[in-house]
Amino acid sequence: MARACAKSPVVGNLFVAPGNPGCAAAARTVPLNVAQHANVIAFCQTEAIDLVVVGPEAPLVSGLIDDLIDAGISCFGPSRNAARLEASKGYAKDFCREFRIPTGDYRRFRDPKEAKKYLRSRGVPIVVKADGLAAGKGVVVAKTFGEAEAAVDASLCDAFGPAGAEIVVEELLEGEEVSFFALCDGVIAIPLDSAQDHKRVGEGDTGPNTGGMGAYSPPAIMTPELSQRIMREIVEPTLRGMNERGSPFRGVLFAGLMISEHGPKVIEFNVRFGDPEAEVILPRLKDDLLPLLVACASGSLHRNPPRFCSDAALAVVMASRGYPGEPLRGSRIGGIEDAEALPGVVVLHGGTREVDGAIFSDGGRVLTVTALGSDVADARKRAYAAIDRIKWREGFFRRDIGWRATVHDPGAAQGRAFRSP
């Protein structure tokens, strides 16, 4: 997002808090703790900030937007109440039911015995979700009753802290998954773009869910007709419903959808640019991002959707060994500049830190290597060629990102072992 905003001809000073070595290449990083709202407000007032763009979910859910607006500072992002669409999966499911937005059947539980009784009555496979924020890791797709009951116990016994105080048990939707984005100013919504991501940690879509191991855009399944249907059946009713609840939605609405022969259904909502979806959507954006963000914040969004280039983009996440559990931190990473020397490639930083000019891992998902190409296969080839230049023995990544668009036989993507550079 910092790189996209930095391209704008109207941007003046650009700050990122707290930032990382990658952000520092596009903006001035500021060591602010965004959980301390008063400090953020004071910084904005001192620097006469015209627009604050809140990226992560935690400060949105904690009400940073509300506090900034109360201080007279213009913001891109939803209020605390509007952010409940992501903060509580149960809230989002109830919302869909109330406003007749298509989604899977479900029940909410706090009692593990009642939850197990319900899932036994429904059968497997079935999905168990921690209600609150769990960094993309609070979802278990259970294929057996043992897995489902273990997920219930884990979620309701503090495995995810407050996020698991309640769970949602829902039917497993079949079809093709799509991440669909729309820009909203509280009244008007326009389609942004879509992507397909890879949530599972292992190749062949195996292993536990993560925050995302890679993505590509555009997905072949997305047609203009399907986009219009998603806007009509999902995005626009969501905007109307939030207004009826007194929480107008401003910002970017990310609908995680399952597309089947019966049409789109909501899996979940996010209230921000997703990761790694943003890494494949924003590089394809032809229009200036900054005026779009300002229009959402000020309630002046026009109805013309932004333009995107015809190139495809594919991103591969490089993660620290141990992720999505406790990641190994502090390992040195080399070759990033060599990777970025390839045409159409950019290496985006997530969990990194810089010490004496060297880059070290400092999180679970550490780097995202994004490449543009004439199609998904071309972008994929470039992304992996770039990864092969990165020297990081303690990292791993999936070698099959984009397999839906590049492999005719899905079975060909199964059973591959992790590959480390």
Model pLDDT for residues 56-89, shown as the tens digit of each residue: 999 999 999 999 999 999 999 999 999 999 999 9
- Count of domains for the chain: 3
Decide if 218 is inside a domain.
no
pLDDT in tens, 188-243: 999 999 999 999 999 999 998 898 999 999 999 999 999 999 999 999 999 999 99
Residues 6+ apart with CB under 8 A from 182: 189, 190, 191, 192, 231, 235, 252, 253, 255
Give the chain's mean pLDDT. 92
Block residue for tokens 């509280």: 186
Decide if 245 is inside a domain.
no
Confidence label for 147 from pLDDT (cuts 50, 70 and 90): very high
Confidence label for 160 from pLDDT (cuts 50, 70 and 90): low
Is the sign of the CA dihedral 327, 333, 336, 339 positive or negative? negative
Q: Quick one: which H or E segment has residue 121?
A: helix 112-122
Decide if 409 is inside a domain.
yes
Of 171, 191, 208, the one marking the end of a domain is: 171
How far CA 260 is from CA of 42, 176, 177, 398, in Å, comes to 49, 7, 9, 26
Of 133, 152, 171, the one marking the end of a domain is: 171
Average of per-residue pLDDT across 400-411: 72
Residue 321: predicted pLDDT: 96
Q: What distance in Å separates the CA atoms of residue 56 and residue 271, rounded to the nearest whole number?
A: 9
Average of per-residue pLDDT across 285-308: 96
Closest CA to 43 of 79, 64, 17, 69: 17
Confidence label for 168 from pLDDT (cuts 50, 70 and 90): very high
Same domain, 395 and 324: yes
Decide if 70 is inside a domain.
yes
How many beta carbons lie within 10 A of that of residue 265, not counting itself? 21
Q: What distance in Å separates the CA atoms of residue 351 and residue 364, rounded to the nearest whole number?
A: 7
Question: What is the SS3 string spanning 175-221?
Answer: CEEEEEEEEEECCCEEEEEEEEECCEEECCCEEEECCCCEEEECCCC
Q: What distance in Å separates the CA atoms of residue 279 and residue 368, rounded to the nearest whole number?
A: 8
Same domain, 335 and 408: yes
Statement: residue 335 has pLDDT above 80: yes
The CATH number covering residue 151 comes to: 3.30.1490.20
Q: What is the dihedral of CA 150, 153, 157, 159, to 10 degrees?
A: 30
Average of per-residue pLDDT across 327-345: 97
Beta-bridged to residue 353, according to DSSP, are 360
Of 65, 81, 97, the one marking the end of a domain is: 81
How many beta carbons lie within 10 A of that of residue 29, not counting itself? 18
Same domain, 72 and 150: no
How many beta carbons lie within 10 A of that of residue 304, not counting itself? 8
Residue 232: predicted pLDDT: 98
Amino acid at site 41: I
Q: Which carries the bigger pLDDT value, residue 417 or residue 54?
A: 54
Statement: residue 408 has pLDDT above 50: no
CB 81 within 8 A of CB 60: no
pLDDT in tens, 132-144: 886 666 888 999 9
Average of per-residue pLDDT across 303-313: 95
The CATH number covering residue 16 comes to: 3.40.50.20
Whole-model pTM?
0.91
Same domain, 359 and 391: yes
Decide if 352 is inside a domain.
yes
Q: Angle at Cα 333 formed by Cα 327 and Cα 337, nearest 5°?
A: 140
Decide if 353 is inside a domain.
yes
Same domain, 59 and 128: no
Decide if 213 is inside a domain.
no
How many beta carbons lie within 10 A of that of residue 176, not counting itself? 14
Decide if 243 is inside a domain.
no
Residue 414: predicted pLDDT: 36
Closest CA to 54 of 273, 346, 226, 375: 273
Statement: residue 158 has pLDDT above 80: no
Same domain, 130 and 49: no
Q: Is the preceding peptide bond at 291 cis, omega within 30 degrees of 0?
A: no
Same domain, 67 and 140: no
The CATH number covering residue 394 comes to: 3.90.600.10
Q: What distance in Å separates the CA atoms of residue 238 and residue 101, rounded to the nearest whole number?
A: 8
For helices 236-244 and 89-98, angle between their N-to-C axes, nearest 10 degrees: 100
Percent over 90 (pLDDT), the chain: 88
CB 89 within 8 A of CB 129: yes
Range of the domain at 32: 2-81
Average of per-residue pLDDT across 183-190: 97
pLDDT in tens, 365-389: 999 999 999 999 999 999 999 999 9
R_g of the chain computed on alpha carbons: 21
CB 189 within 8 A of CB 235: yes
pLDDT in tens, 38-58: 999 999 999 999 999 999 999
Same domain, 53 and 116: no
Residues 6+ apart with CB under 8 A from 30: 15, 16, 17, 18, 19, 43
How many beta carbons lie within 10 A of that of residue 141, not counting itself? 19
